[in-house]
């Protein structure tokens, strides 16, 4: 017998045929499907008889178990460390709320094979791809715990989404079509997996693309992002331009600012030269993220005044930039960091900040 489909991996057809095997009236299918995508959990779907909820819960189990749930002191940020029923891999999800939006940052893989030197997930290595059901469940369960409806989803947790394309795209379609989260409010962040970016350009749903650049030249990027040796900056920018052209959307470039490594004025000018006149409405946008310290990397966050100068130099080239504020500093709300802390009982001291 094959394993039962997970609650958010089950298709509408699978739910329909299960309900019909159970002899349920036909109108139940729509009721159950809408309960699955409601802001509350299936267990709280009072439109359905309790016995049916219990039976559905057993037939379509949740597949993530919370190991650690932590909330920031202002309660606006919540982070989950889950263990997957299938094999026990650990993944992280972060919910970030503000008065006018609720954004969930989700993982697409347990671990990551890309090996970016400054990233806690990259340092830990690759474990496995997540399934569509595991990806969607992160959003659903963050939503169940939030008073606000989830308005935005970012694939900026653990893993490289475009290295797990089919499962990620299945989740995007589900989030857009069934949860009603507009494709534009779903951001796929990539380290520059060019074939995946080309596929994205060919999709009709115009998701937002973020590209993690971190360096203005190949020599430095090769050191920080090993994948750059396979897909150098020029190829990554060409594929990003393809997505911008196809979707008419502005591309965001992520830039983790590391003191003395990539925060010099000449590097800002070089980045500005690369990104000026970028296609897509409004051109390229740069997110300057102060580096989060991680156990396996000696670099430090660039100072705030350096970030301001960096942003001004980009503006001089006509490239807009935002300096990301730190978020969730008291809860290790950065890619791979909660897992790292749980796995290593006595981590070096130092504040953690929300990376993405």
- Phi and psi at 217, nearest 5°, equal -140, 155
Q: Could you tell me the end-to-end alpha-carbon distance of the chain, in angstroms, rounded to an integer?
A: 41
Total residues in contact with ligand SAH, by rule CB under 6 A: 18
Helices then strands, counting H and E runs in the chain, come out as 12, 12
- Under the criterion CB under 6 A, does residue 16 sit at the interface with ligand SAH? no
- Under the criterion CB under 6 A, does residue 121 sit at the interface with ligand SF4? yes
Our CA dihedral for 58, 59, 64, 69, rounded to 10 degrees, sits at -40
- With contact defined as beta carbons under 8 Å apart, do 167 and 131 qualify? yes
- With contact defined as beta carbons under 8 Å apart, do 7 and 133 qualify? yes
Question: From CA 165, how far away is CA 330, in angstroms rounded?
Answer: 33
Question: What minimum distance in Å lies between the beta carbon of 190 and ligand SF4?
Answer: 8
Within 212-271, the residues that bind ligand SAH by CB under 6 A are 212, 254, 256
Question: From CA 87, how far away is CA 244, in angstroms rounded?
Answer: 38
- Under the criterion CB under 6 A, does residue 116 sit at the interface with ligand SF4? yes
Q: In the set 134, 160, 263, 332, which binds ligand SF4 (CB under 6 A)? A: 160
- Under the criterion CB under 6 A, does residue 159 sit at the interface with ligand SF4? yes
Question: What minimum distance in Å lies between the beta carbon of 251 and ligand SF4?
Answer: 16
**Cβ distance to ligand SF4 smaller for residue 19 or 243:** 243
Nearest to 37 by CA among 106, 124, 137: 137
**Cβ distance to ligand SF4 smaller for residue 227 or 237:** 227
Q: Which does 156 bind (CB under 5 to 8 A by kind): ligand SF4, ligand SAH, none?
A: ligand SAH
- Under the criterion CB under 6 A, does residue 114 sit at the interface with ligand SF4? yes
Q: Which does 289 bind (CB under 5 to 8 A by kind): ligand SAH, ligand SF4, none?
A: ligand SAH
Nearest to 124 by CA among 111, 136, 134, 114: 111
Nearest to 196 by CA among 161, 223, 238, 170: 161
Question: What minimum distance in Å lies between the beta carbon of 342 and ligand SF4?
Answer: 18
Q: In the set 134, 137, 160, 332, which binds ligand SAH (CB under 6 A)? A: 160
**R_g over Cα of the chain:** 21
Question: What minimum distance in Å lies between the beta carbon of 181 and ligand SF4?
Answer: 22
3-state helix, strand, coil in the chain (%, to 5): 40, 20, 40
Per-residue mark of binding to ligand SAH, 277-306 (x: CB under 6 A): ------------x-xx-x------------
Q: Cα angle vertex 273, ends 272, 276, to 5°?
A: 75
**Cβ distance to ligand SAH smaller for residue 24 or 160:** 160
Catalytic positions: 92, 335
Please report, as ranges, the residues that interact with ligand SF4 according to CB under 6 A.
112, 114-116, 119, 121-122, 159-160, 191, 212, 335
Please report, as ranges, the residues that interact with ligand SAH according to CB under 6 A.
118-119, 156, 160, 189-191, 212, 254, 256, 289, 291-292, 294, 334-335, 355-356
């Amino acid at each position: 017998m094959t394993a039962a489909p997970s609650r958010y991996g089950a298709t509408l057809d699978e739910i329909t045929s299960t309900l019909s095997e159970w002899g349920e009236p036909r109108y139940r299918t729509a009721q159950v499907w809408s309960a699955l995508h409601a802001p509350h959990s299936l267990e709280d779907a009072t439109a359905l008889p309790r016995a049916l909820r219990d039976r559905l819960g057993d037939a379509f189990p949740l597949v993530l178990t919370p190991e650690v749930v932590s909330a920031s002191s202002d309660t606006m940020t919540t982070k989950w460390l889950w263990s997957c029923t299938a094999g026990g891999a650990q993944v992280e999800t972060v919910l970030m709320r503000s008065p006018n939006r609720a954004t969930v940052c989700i993982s697409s893989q347990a671990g990551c094979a890309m090996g970016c030197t400054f990233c806690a997930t990259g340092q830990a290595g690759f474990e496995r791809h997540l399934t569509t059901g595991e990806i969607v469940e992160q959003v659903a369960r963050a939503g169940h715990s939030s008073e606000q409806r989830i308005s935005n989803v970012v694939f900026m947790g653990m893993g490289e989404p475009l290295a797990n394309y089919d499962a990620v795209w299945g989740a995007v379609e589900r989030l857009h079509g069934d949860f009603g989260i507009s494709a534009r409010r779903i951001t796929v962040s990539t380290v520059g997996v060019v074939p995946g970016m080309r596929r994205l350009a060919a999709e009709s749903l115009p998701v937002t693309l973020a590209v993690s650049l971190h360096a203005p030249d190949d020599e430095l990027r090769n050191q920080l992002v090993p994948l750059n040796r396979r897909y150098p900056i020029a190829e990554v920018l060409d594929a990003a331009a393809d997505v911008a052209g196809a979707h008419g959307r502005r591309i965001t470039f992520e830039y983790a600012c590391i003191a003395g490594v990539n925060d010099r004025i000449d590097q800002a000018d070089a980045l500005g030269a690369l990104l000026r006149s970028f296609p897509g409405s409004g051109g390229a946008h740069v997110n300057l993220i102060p580096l989060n310290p991680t156990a396996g990397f000696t670099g430090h966050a660039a100072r705030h005044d350096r970030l301001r100068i960096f942003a001004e130099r980009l503006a001089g080239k006509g490239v807009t930039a935002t300096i990301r504020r730190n978020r969730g500093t008291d809860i290790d709300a950065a890619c791979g960091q909660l897992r790292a802390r749980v796995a290593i009982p006595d981590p070096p001291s130092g504040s953690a900040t929300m990376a993405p």
